[in-house]
Structure formats: C-alpha cells, structure tokens
Structure 1
Amino acid sequence: MEPIVNTSKSKSAPAPTLADRLQRFLPKLVMAPTMLVTVVCIYGYIFWTAALSFTNSRFLPSFNFAGWVQYQKLMENDRWITSITNLAIFGLLFMLIALVLGVGLAILLDQNIRQEGAIRTIYLYPMALSFIVTGTAWKWILNPGLGIEKLMHDWGFSQFRFDWLVDSDMAIYTLVIAAVWQSSGFIMAMFLAGLRGIDASIIKAAQIDGASLPTIYWKIILPCLRPVFFSAVIITSHIAIKSFDLVTAMTAGGPGYSSDLPALFMYAHSFTRGQIGLGAASAMMMLAGILAILVPYLYSELREKKS
C-alpha cells in the first residue's frame, strides 16, 4: 500500500499592509502626547521641586546644592509647626466625622426608604461645588455680624455666641465643618454602592439565625466593606493634606496664622515671600505625607492579589 503524500503546501501569512501597521501603532501615537505631558508636568515637576528643596533658591531657582538646610529651617519655623498641628486636628476630625456620617447615611438609604433618590441628590449636591464656593458660603454663614450669630440675636437670643471664625483657638474647627458638609455625601455614595453590592442571601441567612439588623451590619456587612473604608480614608486624607482653596476662601489662614495648613504655607513662602527653596521643602513634606498613607494601602492590596 503506497503511503499517502500530502501535496498541499502551507500558505505563508500575508505581509502586513500599511493600514495594519497604522492600526497597530495608532493607539500609541494618540496616547503619546498625553503620556509626555503626564511625565513632564507631574513626575518631572516633582523631581524639579525635590531638587529645589536642596538649594538656597529664593525669588528665582538656584541650583547650588545646600543639603538639608531648607528642611532644617522648616522644622524650626513656628508657622510650619502650627500648620502641621492644624493638619493633624483638621485631618483626623474631617476623616472621622465624614466617615461616620457617610456610613450612617448609606445605611439609612439602604433601608429602601421613600424618596431615596431625592435624599441622595440633596446629600450629594455639595460635592458638585468647588471648595472656593463652599468656603465663601460658610464664611458668610459663620460670620458673627452676618450669619448664624446675627440671626439668633435678631430672634431674641442675645446671649448666643458662635464666633469661631474670628477665634484663633476655634477657627480650625470651622474648616472641619465646611469640609465635612461638602465631602460626607460623597462618602455616603461610596458606601451605598458597596452596600448594594452585598449578596442579599448573606443577610437573609443571618436573619434566619436570629441576628438583629444592627448586628448584621456591624459583624457581617461592614467588615465586607473594608476596601471601601480604605478608599474613603485615602480620598479624605488626600483632600485634607492638599486643602488650599477652602482655607484661602474661608479664613485665609487667620486669625493670624492660627488656621494655617501646609498647602497655604507652601504657597505663601514660594510665591509671596520669595523663599522657593523653603516652599519646595514644605511641598515635599506634603508629598511624603500622602505617600505614607498611599504606599501601605497599595502594598496590602497587591499582597492580597498575589495570595
């Protein structure tokens, strides 16, 4: 029996045409300008700011290496110490209150109450405003001669006082009020989305076992929302560290510099006092604060994905 010989020849793949090559490289060409701008305007300026922080730059950049002099001056500056203290107060209170209010509102709306859409819109509306608008509005509301205090006096409560805005010991707390008012609705939306993603069968199984609703939320549902908690902490801490427009519009760092924050300190020394090197050092300290929060979060997320 003669062996069967396969006389068919394998066809070679056709050479790529010009249209195929363009289709392959077109996405890269389209994204190239965006990538270039990102690399230069974000990472490039970060390295440039870091370089300036090790120089004696004043009104104009100077690249004469001066070591850690600017950082030493920063730690000896009373206004910087005040701004860091204010950031600790503002950041912790802002994150804590916004999280508690956001989680509480999300749980309330998760009960399928009436007019949920309208209530959700009302709470989310402040997030549509800029911090400049929020700061200006709350500056009017908390002004002793214009806002709540004057209103209460007009109603006959002449002993009522709410002059935190002009009190150097209390001014920082007015920033907390305004920031919480604007951001708690956004935190609510994050947690509400997380709650709606929980499998209903888990809740039903817990109810069959006799667990009360508060216990179900505290012991079962909220632990499942750990990634949402992490995201909320990252977002609120980032807002707190870079807060500039809210402070500028509401208190301008005053009275004196009692409500100063690092971002306002950096702007004042870099652009109005001609101390670019000191301002760059303060900017790098703010970046270090953000990285101190962001890096552990990314590390934990990547470790969980690998495991």
Structure 2
Amino acid sequence: MSSVAVPTPKAVHRSSMDWLQAWLPKLVLAPSVVIVLVGFYAYILWTLLLSFTNSRFMPSYKWVGLDQYLRLMENDRWWVASQNLLVFGGLFIAISLLIGVVLAVLLDQRIRQEGAIRTIYLYPMALSMIVTGTAWQWLLNPGLGLDKLLRDWGWEGFRFDWLVDPDRVVYCLVIAAVWQASGFVMALFLAGLRGVDQSIIRAAQVDGASLPTIYLRIVLPSLRPVFFSALMILAHIAIKSFDLVAAMTAGGPGYASDLPAMFMYTHTFTRGQMGLGAASAMLMLAAILAILVPYLYSELRTKRHE
C-alpha cells in the first residue's frame, strides 16, 4: 500500500505565508492602480473621444471628426492663450531656473542661518496657486496695492498698472509664478550640489580655478538630470496653470491674460462648448508630451549607452 503524504501544520503555515508575501504587495497596490487607470487614463481617452463629437453642455456622441480642432484653430481667443503661454512659460521657466540656481549656489557656501533662509525661500511653494494669485492680485492692484502705497508716501509720479494693462498683464502672472516656484528649484539644485564630490572642487581649486569657473564649467554641467527634472516640473506647471490666472486676473482685461487651461475651463464649463474644450485639453496634453517624450528618450538612450 502506498502512503499519502499529509502536509504538516508547519508546512501549511509556511505555504500560507509564502502566498501572502507574494500577493500582499499586489493587493495593497491594486486600489491605487485602479484609481490611476480609471481616474486618469480612462478620462484621457474619454476626453479624446469627446473632442471628436459635438458635445455642448452635456456629452454627446455624435461624431464630427476634426471639426472641433478646426474650430479651435480659427478661434482668436485660443491663439491669444497660446501666445500668452509661450511668453508666460518661457519667462517663468527661464527666470525660475536662473534664480533657483543662483540661490542654490549661494546656499551651497555653508552660510550662517542656512536652514532659516532655505525655509523662507521654500515657504511660497507650500501655498496653493489660489493663495498666491490672490495675494499678488492685492499687491499689484493699482487702487490698493504697491502703486497706491508708494503714491501715498509721496511718489506721485509712480505708476505700476500692469495688472489692468492688456499688453503687460501676462508679466504679472510671471512675477507671481516665479515668486512661488523659484524656491522649489533652489531646493532641487541645492540637493544636487550637496551630492557633488567635494574632492573634484578641491582639485580644481588646487589647479587655480576660480569658484565661478568651477561652478559654471564643472559642477553645474554635472547636474544635467536635476536641470531636466526642474525643466519638466516647471513646464508642467506653466502648461496647466489655471488657478493662478483665475485668482489673479480671471483671464482679463478681456481675455488678454488667458492661458490654455483657462480657455479650456471657460469653454467647457461656462460656455457650454464641451467638444471644443476637450479639443483644447488634448492639445495641452500634446504640449506636455512634446516635452516629456524627448526627455524620456534622451534618458533611456543615455542609460543604454552607459
């Protein structure tokens, strides 16, 4: 007679533990994966579908092809928003990077009260864009902000009315956005600078290189990944900027300070042109992908060569 092996309680327990260890990470991650798939990618596909329909106040699935994209290209307000994005995004990214790098280099000199100074510069990033926009709207308002304060102090000829000037209002958005984001860029670069091998800097100093030369030619070029990370984050902030515009200018005067995100919200939720708003949202996504894909390709290619 052949005997059948009966699993011992210890073996059963070990098998159960192995199963739990194999499946527990998947069970923990499953809700997050479902939320991302449904709440992010599924809605992207749904928005893409709506951009090919004649949806107005409510979704409609009557296919109109590229009509919404053609209407978008013929919309003057869209072109104003796109031009504003180029000005706002270009200045915002360039100035934030410049200020952030300069502050990071200065703090890298191990100055006194570095922790307090770093906190002061990082604090604006803890605020929401709504708070930032509201605060700067008060500061730059000609009737009650810095303009009025300086005139009350005796500078009667002082004028700073950019907030109500259609040709300059977009620069007010740049000022507020730079104020909020430059400290974050500083933190990114400071973390990168603290990771640089100090022996390289000391060797360059022994060879007679000045400190500015060391940073410009040795240290900062080695922080290429940090630079691209900061560029990606700032570009993402610029393209999706809505709350700053809504709180600070509401797109005005007229629609002189419109950005694509504001255009999308206005036409989708207040003007009942959901199909047109969906088309503008897809072009915004395309703009983000146009920055993201080359960056990812460059990084993957670099790692492959390494």
TM range (shorter): over 0.9
Deviation at 1:299, TM superposition (A): 0.5
Moved over 2 A (4+): 14-20
Report the counterpart of residue 6 of structure 2 in structure 1. none
Report the counterpart of residue 213 of structure 2 in structure 1. 215
2:83 is matched by which residue type in structure 1? T
TM-score under structure 2 normalisation? 0.94
Report the counterpart of residue 87 of structure 1 in structure 2. 85
Structural mapping, 1:141-156, within 5 Å: 141-156=139-154
1:63 is matched by which residue type in structure 2? Y
Whole-Å Cα distance in 1 between the matches of residues 34 and 17 of structure 2?
A: 25
Aligned counterpart for 1:136 among listed residues 134, 137, 140: 134
Whole-Å Cα distance in 2 between the matches of residues 228 and 27 of structure 1?
A: 31
Deviation at 1:23, TM superposition (A): 3.0
Deviation at 1:32, TM superposition (A): 1.3
Report the counterpart of residue 120 of structure 1 in structure 2. 118
1:302 is matched by which residue type in structure 2? L
Whole-Å Cα distance in 1 between the matches of residues 20 and 187 of structure 2?
A: 43
Report the counterpart of residue 78 of structure 1 in structure 2. 76
Report the counterpart of residue 238 of structure 1 in structure 2. 236
1:62 is matched by which residue type in structure 2? S
Aligned counterpart for 2:38 among listed residues 40, 62, 85: 40
1:83 is matched by which residue type in structure 2? A
Whole-Å Cα distance in 2 between the matches of residues 208 and 117 of structure 1?
A: 30
Report the counterpart of residue 4 of structure 2 in structure 1. none
- C-alpha deviations, 1:90-140, integer Å up to 9, x for none? 000000000000000001101111111111111001001000000000000
Cα 1:19/1:219, change in 2 over 3 Å: closer
1:160 is matched by which residue type in structure 2? F
SS in 2 for 1:225: helix
Structural mapping, 1:88-103, within 5 Å: 88-103=86-101
TM-score under structure 1 normalisation? 0.94
Aligned counterpart for 1:180 among listed residues 178, 185, 194: 178
- C-alpha deviations, 1:132-186, integer Å up to 9, x for none? 0000000000011111111111110000000101111110000000000000000
Whole-Å Cα distance in 1 between the matches of residues 20 and 209 of structure 2?
A: 62
Report the counterpart of residue 4 of structure 1 in structure 2. none
Report the counterpart of residue 57 of structure 1 in structure 2. 55
How many residues align? The count is 295
Ranges in structure 2 where 5+ consecutive residues have no aligned partner: 1-10
Report the counterpart of residue 7 of structure 2 in structure 1. none
Q: Does 1:21 align with 2:19?
A: yes
Percent identity over paired residues? 70
Report the counterpart of residue 250 of structure 1 in structure 2. 248
Rg larger in structure = 1
Ranges in structure 1 where 5+ consecutive residues have no aligned partner: 1-13
1:53 is matched by which residue type in structure 2? S
Deviation at 1:22, TM superposition (A): 2.7
Whole-Å Cα distance in 1 between the matches of residues 28 and 167 of structure 2?
A: 53
Report the counterpart of residue 110 of structure 1 in structure 2. 108
SS in 1 for 2:241: coil
Deviation at 1:30, TM superposition (A): 2.0
Report the counterpart of residue 222 of structure 2 in structure 1. 224
Whole-Å Cα distance in 1 between the matches of residues 29 and 202 of structure 2?
A: 48
Whole-Å Cα distance in 2 between the matches of residues 18 and 217 of structure 1?
A: 57
Report the counterpart of residue 157 of structure 1 in structure 2. 155
RMSD after superposition: 1.2
2:301 is matched by which residue type in structure 1? R
2:143 is matched by which residue type in structure 1? G
Whole-Å Cα distance in 1 between the matches of residues 243 and 51 of structure 2?
A: 24
Whole-Å Cα distance in 2 between the matches of residues 49 and 259 of structure 1?
A: 25
Deviation at 1:302, TM superposition (A): 0.7
Q: Does 1:167 align with 2:165?
A: yes
- C-alpha deviations, 1:223-279, integer Å up to 9, x for none? 001111101110000000000000000000000000000000000111111111000
1:169 is matched by which residue type in structure 2? D
2:302 is matched by which residue type in structure 1? E
